[in-house]
Chain A
């Protein structure tokens, strides 16, 4: 207490629950000291939900870790103070901190899969935590645990208590985690991306629960998220962070309603909107291409124009078509009654019916069109993509590509022409590029494999040109994938797909691993490529707002079944199916700022 009394004069800590002043967290590394958090000030009152929003590397999670005293070595608090109800907590020793953690500050982690012990029953985990912090006997602790589970919205909590974590769904598991965080009546809860791993409908419920709990129990909540839609939906106050510094802070309505800073405005503009389609996103990242002569290192004759020329001369590519033309062109891909079954077995006496991942799905895509496929996890979106590219065998139904029958994975020949014509961009840019090969080797592979160009000056020139086309410096071809960020890697992945001169591109959640600003750039790029080369794109995403920006037609899938199929504008203005309406309602967006 003596330590904090001298600071009392400077700050009115009496009313606020948590005060963070001039917090600076440094991470020493062999490349020098890196300031993960740089003089950050925060103040939270009881019952308030305070959002921390920013892109990856903004230092949001580091602030959370610093408050709860879980900074990972070698990160340390260089300066500043953190006071919980006026008490300085940065200089506490481990044992005292251990009591504080749990008792007064709790944490909710991102992934409910990993924050519960899979080998222990829910009851054991809850009761253990309660008994550690409160002097209660087993029966009383159990009673409290049941009450908490009921409070967090778990039905028939008494019976479900004795189940194991895997018997709960993702959303239910997160409720259990929240119940566990509430065990000890904490004054402050730090929620680090609590809904990122969940589907939108579940996300909505969990956010509502957090909101209610904060109000009823008068708990202060720090909500860390990258999703500005989540911020808009439940927070009272918000702090926008970038590179460890505060950009803007204040009441959510004010910050998001009338942002004072350019960055906040740009961050909001980069978020795809559900209510209207915009042609281009604002670019908020200024990549400095001039470092180490990145821009000056070029291969003679290589340019984006060269790539454009080369891509346009392929037989299958057709330049932009007008809307009226689109409707008359024959479909490039037709899928009829397609089903995919996993794990079906019939050996001797054993017969396993298997799991139907896709049930009688039919769709057709015209040349030059973007078809969006939406659905929650487990809806069969990715399975559909894999069936089309020939990674997963189908169990019934047929596919036609350019009018020709497209054999499924087992029957498709290694040199089938569709293998070149259909290319795919994957979800995870960290695993879709081979880390042991240079970008040049990765991009040359399709060229030589399909016999589009000989390895040598020709292929070098093409690789450099296509890199330029996807807005990467030509010098990138000399590097390895791990030297690039997620967004840059994803562009290299797009470049690899382009190298095959495809007419049909499948994008499986291409932006779900990226920050909004990078997502905006990539969506711009895909739009450009699509309109330039008349590419047909099958765009898969769980994010309706992203699909809204890209797709001409939309197909909604739910547990392998087709729910609705309609024209994009029509779908977003008046969805027919009950499920689609629900999906649209539950997608968080900027329009939901709390009034």
Chain B
């Protein structure tokens, strides 16, 4: 078994490079730990920060447990409402990652579909899609998100609003990220389209949809995967920014961004831990995901090796 893995590890390019890259391994370890902690938050978190009955205002603004005034029940302290900060961070990361992954999935499906079609069909369709992409690029991501958030607030009934917030956020972030995917998919499709295996399919009379999905799509997945990881970090950051600005997730379900926003209010009154720990979590998460994305880009690009 081990011998087989060892042989596979030598033959598989990406696995080989991964096993010889300590930084990427560290990043993967941290990312996995955070992903695991976030996914299992209801089971690993000491308290449930969404349950208003479980916390006590008397515990509010307690510093981390290692300082003099600390309480051993709250490892890294509590916030203004007496919530355990560690639990809040675990649940917050969960929400941030959820929004991040959902919006990147939305962006990649939309972007790759349009980019693939634009690249393969060319002509008028290509021109229209790429002009829309140009317009999209000229709008800052936050503006797009604010716009969609505003529209959603206006249209959707108030009582559903909080439940639908995550979907609105996903669409808003997804819409500002699809252009990257579309451009990359289009450029790679241009290259693949002129390869002879695609011509062979065209000679056979294979329908364009089948050529695009069965033949070309698997061949352009390399660069798409790289953007996927890098944009995941961007999406998490965007969500944090939006939540920080107060247009993100509702305050009773804090994400990392919301936690940081709440924390800044206490920064100057000496309660540093409320902003420091969520920010640190965010930074570590983004850096590790970015490092993984960089590793993947280098591993998939033979020119950089």
Which A residues form the contact surface with B (CB < 8 A)?
30-31, 389-391, 412-416, 419-420, 422-424, 426-428, 431-437, 445-446, 449-450, 496, 500
Contact between B215 and A434, CB atoms less than 8 A apart? yes
Whether B196 contacts A31 by the Cβ 8 Å rule is no
Within the assembled complex, what's the spacing in Å between the Cα atoms of A422 and B205?
Answer: 12
Chain B residues within 8 Å of chain A by Cβ, number:
17
Interchain CB contact under 8 A, B10 and A30? yes
Q: Does residue B200 face the partner (Cβ distance < 8 Å to A)?
A: yes
The CA of A31 and the CA of B12, in the complex, are separated in Å by 12
Contact present for A435 and B200 (CB under 8 Å):
no
Given A30-B10, A431-B195, A434-B219, answer yes or no on A426-B200 (Cβ-Cβ < 8 Å). Answer: yes
B210 (CB) vs chain A CBs: closest residue: A449
CB of B3 within 8 Å of the partner chain: no
A446 engages B218 (CB within 8 Å)? no
Further pairs besides A30-B10, A432-B197, A437-B218: 4, Cβ < 8 Å: A30-B16, A414-B205, A426-B200, A436-B218
Contact between B200 and A496, CB atoms less than 8 A apart: yes
* B204 neighbours in A (Cβ, 8 Å): 419-420, 445-446, 449-450, 500
Complex interface: chain B residues within 8 A of A423 (CB): 203
Query: Across the two chains, which residue of chain A brings its CB closest to B220?
Result: A436
Smallest CB gap from A426: residue in B: B196
* Beta-carbon contact of A432 and B202 below 8 Å: no
Cβ–Cβ contact A436 & B196, under 8 A: no
Question: What's the nearest-Cβ distance from chain A to residue B218, in Å?
Answer: 4
CA of A500 to CA of B10, assembled, Å: 38
**A428 touching B202, Cβ below 8 Å:** no
Q: List 27 A-B contacts (CB under 8 A).
A: A30-B10, A30-B16, A31-B10, A391-B203, A412-B205, A414-B207, A415-B205, A416-B205, A419-B203, A419-B205, A420-B204, A422-B203, A424-B199, A424-B203, A426-B199, A428-B196, A431-B197, A434-B197, A434-B215, A435-B219, A436-B218, A437-B215, A437-B218, A445-B201, A445-B204, A449-B206, A496-B200
Judge whether B219 and A436 touch: CB under 8 Å.
yes
Q: Which chain A residue shows the least CB distance to B216?
A: A434
How far is it, in angstroms, between the C-alpha of A431 and the C-alpha of B207 when the chains are bound? 20
Closest to A422 in B: B203
A433-B197 in contact (CB<8A): yes
Chain B residues, CB < 8 A from A496: 200
Chain A residue nearest to B9 (CB atoms) is: A30
Measured between beta carbons, the chain B residues less than 8 angstroms from A500 are 204
CA distance A427 to B200 in the complex (A): 12
With CB as the reference atom, state the residue of chain A lying closest to B10. Answer: A30
Give a binary string over B177-221; 1 marks a CB under 8 Å from any A CB, 0 the rest: 000000000000000000111011111111100000001001100
B202, A391: Cβ atoms closer than 8 Å: yes
Q: B3-37: which residues lie under 8 A (CB-CB) from chain A?
A: 10, 16
Q: In whole angstroms, what is the CA distance A412 to B203 when docked? A: 10
In angstroms, how far is the closest chain A Cβ from the Cβ of B277? Answer: 42
* Of the residues B196, B197, B207, contact of A427 by C-beta under 8 Å: B196
Nearest chain A CB to B15 CB, angstrom units: 11
Residues of A within 8 A of B202 (CB): 391
What's the nearest-Cβ distance from chain B to residue A84, in Å?
Answer: 32
* Contact across chains for A389 and B197 when beta carbons are under 8 A apart: no
Interchain residue pairs A-B with the least CB separation, the first 7: A432-B196, A436-B218, A426-B196, A414-B205, A431-B195, A419-B205, A434-B197
A391 to B201: give the CA distance in the assembly, Å.
11
Q: Which residues in A have their C-beta under 8 angstroms from that of B16?
A: 30
Of chain A, the residue at the smallest CB distance from B200 is A432
The interface residues of chain A lying within 8 Å CB-to-CB of B200 are 424, 426, 432, 496
- On chain A, the residues within 8 Å of B219 by CB distance are 434-436
Q: Which residues of B contact A426 (CB under 8 A)?
A: 196, 199-200
Contacts of B201 in A (CB 8 A): 445
Residues of A within 8 A of B207 (CB): 414
CA distance A292 to B24 in the complex (A): 35
Interface residues in B201-248 by Cβ distance below 8 A to A read 201-207, 215, 218-219
Alpha-carbon distance between A109 and B121 when the two chains are bound, in angstroms = 38
CB distance from A90 to the nearest CB of B (A): 26
Contact, CB under 8 Å: B196 / A431: yes
- Residue contact B203 to A390, C-beta cutoff 8 Å: yes
Q: Which residues of chain A come closer than 8 Å to B196, judged between CB atoms?
A: 426-428, 431-432
Contacts of A446 in B (CB 8 A): 204
Name the residue on A nearest B197 (C-beta): A434
Given the complex, which residues of B lie within 8 Å of A431, measured CB to CB? 195-197
Measured CA separation A500–B204 after assembly (Å): 9
Determine the distance from Cα of A90 to Cα of B197 in the docked complex, in whole angstroms. Answer: 45
Most buried by A among B200, B202, B204, B206: B200
Q: Tell me the complex Cα distance, A419–B203, Å.
A: 6
Residues of B near A414 (CB, < 8 A) are 205, 207
- Least CB separation from A388: chain B residue: B203
Task: Report B-chain residues with C-beta under 8 Å of the C-beta of A389.
Answer: 203
CA A424 – CA B201 in complex, angstroms? Answer: 11
Q: Which residues of B contact A416 (CB under 8 A)?
A: 205
Bound CA–CA A446/B196 (angstroms): 16
A31 to B201 CA separation, bound complex (whole angstroms): 36
How far does the alpha carbon of A411 sit from the alpha carbon of B133 in the complex, in Å? Answer: 33
CA distance A31 to B9 in the complex (A): 11
CB distance from B263 to the nearest CB of A (A): 47
Q: With the chains together, A28 CA to B205 CA distance in Å?
A: 46
- In whole angstroms, what is the CA distance A272 to B197 when docked? 28
Q: Which of B199, B202, B204, B215 is most buried by chain A, counting CB atoms within 10 A of its CB?
A: B204
Give Cα distance in the complex from A420 to B10, angstroms: 42
Which A residues are in CB contact (< 8 Å) with B215? 434, 437
Task: List residues of chain B with CB within 8 A of the CB of A391.
Answer: 199, 202-203
Whole-angstrom CA separation of A25 from B200 in the bound complex:
41
Chain A residues whose C-beta falls within 8 Å of the C-beta of B10 in the assembled complex: 30-31
Chain B residue at smallest Cβ distance from A413:
B205
Q: Cβ of A424: which chain B residues have Cβ within 8 Å of it?
A: 199-200, 203
Chain A nearest CB, measured from B58 CB (Å): 61
What CA separation (Å) do A412 and B202 show in the bound complex? 11
Give the shortest distance, in Å, between B85 (CB) and chain A (any CB): 46
CB distance from B147 to the nearest CB of A (A): 37
Contacts of B203 in A (CB 8 A): 389-391, 419, 422-424
Q: Shortest Cβ distance from A408 into chain B, in angstroms? A: 13
Q: Which residue of chain A has the shortest Cβ distance to B203 in the bound complex?
A: A389
Nearest CB of chain A from residue B96's CB, rounded to whole Å:
34
What's the Cα separation between A293 and B213 when bound, in Å?
35
Q: Cα distance A390–B196 when bound, in Å? A: 14
- Nearest CB of A to B170, in Å: 30
Q: Look across to chain B and name the residue whose beta carbon is closest to the beta carbon of A419.
A: B205
Closest B residue to A432 using CB positions: B196
A416 closest partner in B (C-beta): B205
Nearest CB of chain A from residue B299's CB, rounded to whole Å? 14
Interface residues of B in 272-302 (CB under 8 A from A): none
With a 10 A CB-CB cut-off, give which of B199, B203, B219 has the most chain A CB atoms.
Answer: B203
- Interface flags for B65-83 (1: CB within 8 Å of A; 0: not) read 0000000000000000000
B215 to chain A, nearest CB (A): 6
Instruction: For the complex, give the distance between the alpha carbons of A450 and B204 in Å.
Output: 9
B301 to chain A, nearest CB (A): 16
Q: How far is the CA of A500 from the CA of B203 in the complex (A)?
A: 12
Q: Which residues of B contact A415 (CB under 8 A)?
A: 205
How far apart are the CA atoms of A413 and B204 in the complex, in Å?
Answer: 11
Nearest CB of A to B207, in Å: 7
A416 to B206 CA separation, bound complex (whole angstroms): 11
Quote the shortest CB–CB distance from A330 to chain B (angstroms): 24
A446 and B197 CA atoms in complex are apart in Å by 13
